[in-house]
Structure 1
Amino acid sequence: MLELNFGQILEEHSEHLLRIAYYYTKNLHAAEDIVQDVFIKYSKSNYKEQGQLRAYLTKITINKSKDYLKSWAYRKIQLQEHLPIIPFLQKDRVIQKELQSTIGETILSLSLKYREVIILYYYEELNTTEIASLLQIPESTVRTRHRRALEKLRPVLSKEWEELYGQ
């Protein structure tokens, strides 16, 4: 298997890791820090490529995002007034595009347990078995969370469909 250098790995995986971290934290700066920490951890590890690098980096990103949500820094931010995040996103089109859509906003409004299943299923294109393994929960729990998340998204999705196609 062809070995990728660190720059290629960074370029290939940073966008989707940033999206995952952002969907967990709802904070661009925290997401950027998390992705940076993920790549630092990867560069210090002695990981041997076996075709699982994306899954490996995704798992580290999810764990670091969850650690952030448990941290004092996150709790402190929650206590302060929420500043509008749109001005901070002007230079990051990936996240800005997600926020502009009603669906993206609705996904961000879901609780973490539903949001992470939606992200992993639709954005990371993982199947139920892979999500269960990644999150270390039973497959039935993944299916239940997926179904419940879609139930919460359905009113928004049907409204979007009506606006797009005038039905």
Structure 2
Amino acid sequence: MNRDDLIEIMDQHTEHLLRIAYCYVMDLHAAEDIVQEVFIKFYRNQHNYEERGEIKAYLAKMTVNRSKDYLRSWNYRKVQLQSKFSLHAERRNLDGLVMRDEQQMIGEAILALPLKQREVLVHFYFNEMTIAEIANTVSIPESTVKTRLTRGRELLRNELSGIVWEVLLNE
């Protein structure tokens, strides 16, 4: 694989991989770093890649694994601790009357779910992956994907149940 091939692969898959990484780490800068590391690792170890399947799934799996590594890292825990202190100070300064768009509310509710449920919901609805593709990407059985989808939907339904939706009022 030459440089031009790598650039073409990056152009095709960067946005998709960024979405995956962001859904895990919930930080755009960290997600960008993760995707960059994935492409570097792919380029350096391209001789290990066997074209048995689709490159998109291979890169997605690498991104998921790197994202999980990041979540286990000391750097992530340190950033989380620092952000908790700064968010607490920011919340006191807000007047509490900030309006949110309904899509933003749904997105925040999804990102608030536990990682196991969040990852399958994001892959299923936003990345439009099948249950088999999700199982392959996350390295879990299909039955586990189905269970996590069901539990994730239930948690999401409970989280969003008390909200009056403007869209429904205007119909």
- Which of the five TM-score ranges fits, normalised by the shorter chain? 0.7 to 0.9
Q: Provide TM-score, normalisation by structure 1.
A: 0.79
Q: Deviations over 1:6-46 (max 9, x none)?
A: 22211111011111101100111110110000110111122
**In 2 relative to 1, CA 157–123 (structure 1 residues): closer, same or farther, beyond 3 Å?**
farther
Name the aligned partner's letter for residue 141 of structure 2: P
Partner of 1:74: 76
RMSD of Structure 2 on Structure 1 (CA): 2.5
Q: Deviations over 1:75-120 (max 9, x none)?
A: 1112213456xxxxxxxxxxxxxx9621111111111001110111
Assess if the C-alpha contact under 8 Å between 1:103 and 1:157 holds in 2: no
The CA deviation at 1:62 is: 0.1
Counterparts of 1:1-167 in structure 2, within 5 Å, are 5-44=5-44, 45-46=46-47, 47-50=49-52, 52-82=54-84, 83=86, 101-155=104-158, 156=160, 159=163, 162-166=165-169
The CA deviation at 1:124 is: 2.1
Assess if the C-alpha contact under 8 Å between 1:20 and 1:61 holds in 2: yes
The CA deviation at 1:61 is: 0.2
Q: Provide TM-score, normalisation by structure 2.
A: 0.77
The CA deviation at 1:49 is: 4.3
Higher radius of gyration, 1 or 2: 2
Assess if the C-alpha contact under 8 Å between 1:114 and 1:145 holds in 2: yes
Partner of 1:93: none
- How many residues were matched structurally? 150
Paired with 1:7 and 1:157, the residues of 2 have a C-alpha distance of 45
**In 2 relative to 1, CA 141–48 (structure 1 residues): closer, same or farther, beyond 3 Å?**
closer
Paired with 2:83 and 2:53, the residues of 1 have a C-alpha distance of 44
Q: After the TM superposition, which parts of structure 1 deviate over 4 Å for at least 4 consecutive aligned residues?
A: 48-51, 157-160
Gaps of at least 5 residues in structure 2 are 88-101
**In 2 relative to 1, CA 48–132 (structure 1 residues): closer, same or farther, beyond 3 Å?**
closer
Aligned identity (percent) is 51
